[in-house]
Structure 1
Amino acid sequence: MTTEPDEGPRHLHTPADHLRLAADPATGEDVLRGLSQSPYPFVWQALAANPNTPPAVLGRLCSQRDSTWNDNLLVARIACHPRADRTVLRGLLDELRDRLMAGDRPFAAVLALAERVEVTPDEILGLARLPGASARLRRGVRSRLAGRAAVGE
């Protein structure tokens, strides 16, 4: 018995269908764009982990909110994503600034951003200086920036 392939989000019947397509690296960019409108945080996570998710979708995902744990994992995945360009990372930087100021602790995303050459050391240090940043985060940021400088020499 064979089944017809899904043509896009209009043929999704269950949350598992959304997740399967969002996680599949063979899923086309148009379908991934449609999936970014999903109400399911696990779909957002899968999109942020899919190496073929386009930058525009990653940018849209930066501000998605569900729960602290899911939100922090999502922004950390976006910060590490290979297709997250300067525009996406700049938006993520702004989002992380807001979250730190609100008392959230998206530390993994801040540390991942510190390793990205698309973001300047001054931009990262600005996050580390915010009231919501811990001493441990500041040490981690300095360490990652130092490692980045050593590689660039």
Structure 2
Amino acid sequence: MPTPAEYLALAHDERDRFVLQRLAQCPYPFVWQALAANPHTPPEALQELSAARDSVWNDNKLLRLLAEHPSADSVVLRAVLDAVAAKLEEGKRPYAAVLALADRPELEVDEVRRLGTLRGASARLRHLLDLQLSARM
């Protein structure tokens, strides 16, 4: 049975998509974050990670990493968008993930702009979101 440190090392360095997919089922949030930062993690694993939950801080960091991932396709990004919207409605402030999503051309400007209308969006977030989205137009 691998130790948490061994799981973490694999999540950082592994390139095999099947190993990375299995690691997405690991119970450790630090492994999820390492997977989300690994550019070789396949979209299927990223989508699975979009539903992973631990704590506010860990969840928000994971969602930002997923939104920034180079292999995140439109399916993954929409799953992240939905998770971020739910966090905003709960008042959890996943602001870095919102701004990362604003940079993704795979998402329509209007679907990202909607995040600024949700209950947990601050005035500062709305302003930064508007700036980022207007730069895409």
Band the TM-score falls in, shorter-chain normalisation: over 0.9
Name the structure 2 match of 1:79.
Answer: 67
Does 2:40 correspond to 1:40? Answer: no
- Structure 2 residue matching 1:42: 3-state secondary structure: helix
Higher mean alpha-carbon deviation, 105-114 vs 63-72, is at 63-72
Structure 2 length-normalised TM? 0.97
CA displacement at 1:144 relative to structure 2: 0.6
| Cα deviations by residue, 1:11-47 (Å, 9 ceiling, x for unpaired) | x5211110001001x4300000110110100000000
Structure 1 unaligned spans of 5+: 1-11
Structure with greater contact order relative to length (CA < 8 Å, sep ≥ 6): 2
Could you say which residue in structure 2 is the equivalent of 1:21?
10
Cα deviations across residues 96-132 of structure 1 (Å, max 9, x unaligned)? 1111111111000000000100111110111111111
Q: Does 1:130 align with 2:133?
A: no
- The equivalent of 1:141 in structure 2 is 129
Identity of aligned residues (%): 53
CA shift at 1:81, angstroms? 0.3
- Let me know the Cα RMSD of the aligned residues: 0.9
- Where do 5+ consecutive residues of structure 2 fail to align? none
Runs of 4+ displaced beyond 6 Å = none
Structure with the greater alpha carbon radius of gyration: 1
TM normalised by structure 1 equals 0.87
**In structure 2, C-alpha distance between the alignment counterparts of 1:27 and 1:118, rounded to whole Å:** 24
* Equivalent residues of 2:113, 2:133 under 8 A apart: no
- Contact 2:64–2:97 (8 Å) recurs in 1: yes
